[in-house]
Amino acid sequence: MQQRIFKKPPIVRLPPRSNVEVLLSKGAQLGTIAVGLVAVVFALDTAEFVLSPVLMAVVIGLMFGPVATWIERRGVNPAVSAAAVVLLFLLILALGMLALAAPLSTWIDRAPQIWNQLQFHLAQFREPMNVLEDLREELRSFSGDSVTVSVEEETAVESVAVLAPAIIGQVLLFLASLYFFVATRQQSRNAVLRVCTTRKIRWRVAHIFRDVEDRVSRYLISITVINLGLGVAVALAMLAIGMPSAALWGALAAILNFVVYLGPAVMATILFAVGLTQYDSLGGSLLPPLVYLAVNLVEAQFVTPQVIGRTMVMNPFIVILAIAFWIWLWGPLGGFIAIPMMLIFYAIAGNIVPGMDWYEGH
């Protein structure tokens, strides 16, 4: 019998693509990515009512994850440990609100006085402001544009009636999401790992879960401890220069410091406004914000790098962009979750794309 000789099919070599074809291919890929990013931003903005409390619950759940793990290692059911975490969070929140309620209400009542003092001290700038106003009117008359402003009056009762159900709904959604995220975090992880088809993908996904929980929880716990120390230092500094309600300013400094860069700027502005009621001159009013900024400088340049580690310090430009984006998208809540969302993104990107670990948290 003669053996059949099978010939290999001829190799077809396609002609190399021209520069125009390569450019069009890359442009199509970039266009697809851009459209996808716009769609994601639009979805985040549209679904803010639902997604913002859920993402906030995920961030808080990652922060308290080690606490739940410690409880479960004592033989406690995950459902019970999740309830303990929710109660612990509510207890901390209630104690903070109770401590701040009395002094904060006092300063809110004094807000008109602070505003009057601010107008009095800034009266020396009225002449330059009048020049700018005259210039604006001249430009408007030259362009022929007219602006009509209509103000729709709304009573406080109507505002509360509209906002109260939405706020209550978001709070309940947050608490439910926090409880179920903590209670089912191991089940969710196992379910995702079972879907992975290969061992390599399963290994990468397992490392993503590990890095996300480790980085976010370690960052938030460390920052919380640092901010508590900053609050104590600011309170002592305000007490030393004779500022009333020193504990309030310390607590407010600790809270605002969670929003890096922007938080200290807001705190310095508040202290300047309060200083107007305590000092006769505009220069004296700068003492409280300057003292606060000095304490904050020590914390930012020496304490935080030593506690967290310099390897965890992220690119300041990327941090500013992330904070600006999330504040633009979701307001103050977005400012709080901006850094944790960056850490989550870094953990995912570092495990999916080799050599792309921009943030070293180990």
Interval 275-296 mean pLDDT: 83
Sign of CA dihedral 84, 89, 95, 98: negative
Task: Give the pLDDT confidence of 28-69 residue by residue, as tens digits.
Answer: 888 888 888 889 889 888 888 889 899 999 999 998 988 999
- Give whole-number Cα distances, 58 to 55, 168, 178, 181, 185, in Å: 5, 19, 6, 7, 10
- Share the mean pLDDT of the chain: 79
Selected residue with higher pLDDT from 205 and 362: 205
| pLDDT given at position 360 | 46
| pLDDT given at position 309 | 60
| pLDDT given at position 135 | 58
| pLDDT given at position 294 | 94
| pLDDT given at position 155 | 53
Neighbours of 198 (CB within 10 A): 8
- Does position 83 have pLDDT exceeding 90, yes or no? yes
Q: Please, are residues 213 and 193 in contact by the beta-carbon 8 Å criterion? A: no
Q: Please, are residues 323 and 261 in contact by the beta-carbon 8 Å criterion? A: yes
Task: Give the pLDDT confidence of 325-350 residue by residue, as tens digits.
Answer: 888 888 888 888 888 888 888 888 87
Distance in angstroms (rounded) separating the CA atoms of residues 269 and 249? 12
- Does position 276 have pLDDT exceeding 90, yes or no? no
Task: Give the pLDDT confidence of 218-230 residue by residue, as tens digits.
Answer: 888 888 889 999 9
Only one residue has tokens 């200083």, namely: 275
Q: Please, are residues 319 and 199 in contact by the beta-carbon 8 Å criterion? A: no
Select, from the ranges 15-24, 79-88, 110-119, the one with the highest average predicted confidence (pLDDT).
79-88
Selected residue with higher pLDDT from 148 and 164: 164
| pLDDT given at position 237 | 93
Task: Give the pLDDT confidence of 162-192 residue by residue, as tens digits.
Answer: 667 778 888 899 999 999 999 999 898 888 8
Domain boundaries, the chain: 31-119+167-185, 198-362
| pLDDT given at position 232 | 93
Structure tokens belonging to residue 1: 């019998």
Selected residue with higher pLDDT from 283 and 64: 64
Select, from the ranges 210-214, 243-247, 294-298, the one with the highest average predicted confidence (pLDDT).
294-298
- Does position 324 have pLDDT exceeding 90, yes or no? no
Selected residue with higher pLDDT from 116 and 361: 116
Interval 299-309 mean pLDDT: 78
Neighbours of 8 (CB within 10 A): 5
| pLDDT given at position 89 | 92
Interval 154-160 mean pLDDT: 52
Residue 159's pLDDT band (cuts 50, 70, 90): low
Interval 282-305 mean pLDDT: 86
Q: Please, are residues 176 and 168 in contact by the beta-carbon 8 Å criterion? A: no
Residue 6's pLDDT band (cuts 50, 70, 90): low
